[in-house]
Structure 1
Amino acid sequence: MSEPHDDDDDDAALFRAAIGAVRKLPEQPSPPAAPKPKPRARMAEMDEANAREEFRHALDASLLESGDVLAHRDERLPVAIYQRLRRGEIAAEEELDLHGADSRTAEALLRAFLGDAARHGSGCVRVIHGKGRHGSADVGSSGAPVLKNLVDRMLRQRASVLAYHSAPPAQGGTGAVLVLLAPPKRR
């Protein structure tokens, strides 16, 4: 009996004899590789994320309590106009209600809202943040209202914000803030 290895050799020889002479095909260039991703500044991204996280969780001695008034005036704004804002004499053109939002969602909503209001030329807007009395999500570990302090910090850092003040009692009191935005030409 012959070995299977010999049968394989015989089959290969028969195959080559049946096909005849073989010529090698010219080599095709390989297809182009997928483009490499553009370089990213990963350390800068990490630094920015860390700064946002620290900003979000910063606890300092100036945290506002639920009954405290939010107030800030940029030096560009005349005192008389700020006094009108304080008294609620400037009507809010748009309103954002942050009740029930967590701090990340509230931050994103507030950024988008202020950007949209500035693009559309709104002069005064109202942001309802609540007083932080009705749930553990509204109050931080220090007992201070989370959204109220978040709104205060964010508004202070916006170049488009000329002034803000807690609303009069009929418009939400210390649970809402009236924000005066700079006209597009002054930004």
Structure 2
Amino acid sequence: MTRVKSLADLQPMARELKARRLAIERVREQREAAARLADQERRLFELSVGPVEPLRHAPRVLHERELPAPEPRQRELDERAVLLQALSDEIDIDTLLDTDETLSFRREGLSLEVVRKLRRGHWALQAQLDLHGLRRDAAREALGQFINDSQRRGLRCVRVIHGKGHGSPGREPVLKGRVRRWLVQKNEVLAFVQARASDGGAGALMVLLA
């Protein structure tokens, strides 16, 4: 401890204490000034905006997000390969078609009334496939995939447009006979008839699915 010998020794200590008090006072004044400024700005904002009320939040229910179903890519590739191999162009369908003017088709056990209803448009058309411009293999694959997808989606009545052959060599309907052959080989197909004139006529088939 420093020993004080005279009053002169106290003067430096007094000056130091005074300087500390002044520094503490300045800090306090600066804090008070900042608080007053913040209060003024808050009051100015309240005067500018006016009285406010907190928003009312309606009760919310948080739903768990469902993950998308995995895509069976390999199964689709396998099915596509099977389609190309399974649908034959050589099958004789003359004995399978009804001998009416449109050569309609119905599975064994189905009554003629089913064909009549299909021809009259009893079932609403739910999807269609247009095969115009496709070569034989591409059309066969597209048709097989379309029937599979439609049956998987639960569709009952679809239309297949094969064309009238006006753009084919010799103006012969190349796909017309083949489409009928391919359809009778699909177990999902219960019946088909030539479409009405308003639905494509001789260039399309109305198909009833299981």
Aligned to 1:93: 126
Query: Residues 144, 160 of structure 1: CA spacing in aligned structure 2 closer, same or farther, 3 A cutoff?
Result: same
Once residues 84 and 167 of structure 1 are traced to their aligned partners in structure 2, the CA distance between those partners, rounded to angstroms, is 12
Change (3 A) 1:130 1:70: farther
Residue of 129, 132, 135 corresponding to 2:165? 132
* Partner secondary structure for residue 95 of structure 1: strand
Q: Is the 1:76–1:162 Cα contact (8 Å) retained in structure 2?
A: no
Unaligned runs of 5+ in 1: 1-47, 63-67, 183-187
Higher helix share: 2
User: What is the RMSD computed on CA atoms of the aligned residues?
Assistant: 2.7
Higher relative contact order (CA 8 A, sep 6+): 1
Alpha carbons of 1:60 and 1:180: their partners in 2 closer, same or farther (altered >3 Å)? closer
Conserved in 2, the CA contact under 8 Å of 1:70 and 1:164? no
State which structure, 1 or 2, has the greater radius of gyration over its C-alpha atoms: 2
Q: Given the alignment, which residue of 178, 195, 198 partners 1:150? A: 178
* Residue number among 198, 201, 205 corresponding to 1:170 in the alignment: 198
Matches within 5 A, 1:1-187: 55-56=88-89, 58=90, 69-136=102-169, 144-182=172-210
Q: 1: distance between equivalents of 2:119 and 2:93?
A: 25
Shift of 1:61: 10
Q: Which amino acid aligns with 1:121?
A: G
CA drift at 1:60 = 7.2
TM-score, with structure 2 as normaliser: 0.52
- Listed as ranges, the gaps of 5+ residues in structure 2 are 1-83, 95-100
Whether contact under 8 Å (1:70, 1:174) holds in the other structure is: no
**Deviation (angstroms), 1:181:** 0.4
Q: Which runs of 4+ in 1 moved over 3 A?
A: 58-62
Q: Identity, % of aligned pairs?
A: 42
TM-score (norm 1): 0.58
